[in-house]
Amino acid sequence: MGGEGMGGERTSDPGDLLPLTPAALNVLLALADGERHGYGIMLEVRERTGGKVRLGPGTLYGAIKRLKEGGVIEESGGRSGTEVDDERRRYYRLTGFGGKVLAAEVARLDGLVRAARRKGAFPTPSQEGV
C-alpha cells in the first residue's frame, strides 16, 4: 500500500500513503461505518463485494498491522458482549487521520473513473441503463 510505506513510519500527509492496496482499502471501508473485530471485517468485505473478495487471516492482519503502525486505524476497546470469547477479540476503528486517508483514496479512484469515462473506457451510469 501506500501501506508499504506504513512500515512503522508515520506521516501526517494522507497522500503519502496512497495508493492503498485492495486489502487496506477494503479494511478501511469496512471500518468507515463503525468499529469491528477482525472476523467482522472479513464478513463485511465478503457481503459488500457479493463474495468476490474474501480476505484471509494473513492478508487481513498484515493490512491491520500496517494500518495501525501508520496511525490509520486504532484499537477501540469496544466489546459487544454477545460472544463467549469476546475478551480475546480486539475491535478496530478509523482514526481521524484514517478518515482522511480513506477520503483521499476514494477521491483518487473517483478521479480515475472520471478520466476513464471521459475517454469512453467506462460506461456512464446512464449508458449502463440503455
Partner 1 sequence: MASPRGDERAVGASERAYRSLLRAYPRDLRDEYGDEMALCFRDLCRAELEDRGGLGLATLWAHTLPELLHTALKERSSMLARNTYRSVLGVALATAFILLIPLMANWPWTLGDFVFAGALLFGTGLAYVLVARMGGNIAYRFAVGVAVAAAFLLVWINIAVGIIGEPDEAANLMYVGVLAVGIAGAFVARFRQQEMARALFATALAQALVAVIALILQLGSGSPPGVLGILILNGFFVALFVASALLFRHAGRQHTPAGVGQDG
Which listed residue (22, 71, 89, 95) binds partner 1 by CB under 8 A?
Answer: 89
Residues of span 16-75 touching partner 1 by CB under 8 A: 37-39, 42, 54, 56-62, 64-65
- Measured from the CB atom, the residue of 8 and 96 that comes closer to partner 1 is 8
- Cell numbers for 12: 501526517
Nearer to partner 1, 23 or 104 (CB): 23
Distance CA 119, CA 128 (A): 16
Strands, DSSP E only, in 1-130? 36-37, 73-75, 91-94
Residue list 92-111, contact with partner 1 (CB under 8 A): none
Specify the residue, 8 or 125, whose C-beta has the smaller distance to partner 1. Answer: 8
Q: What CA–CA distance (Å, rounded) separates 65 from 125?
A: 37
**Taking Cα atoms as reference points, which of 70, 75, 97 lies closest to residue 9?**
70
Would you put residue 56 in left (φ > 0), alpha (ψ -120 to 50) or beta? beta
Give the residue, chosen from 11, 53, 76, 90, that forms a contact with partner 1 under the rule CB under 8 A. 90
Residues that bind partner 1 (CB under 8 A): 4, 7-8, 37-39, 42, 54, 56-62, 64-65, 85, 88-90
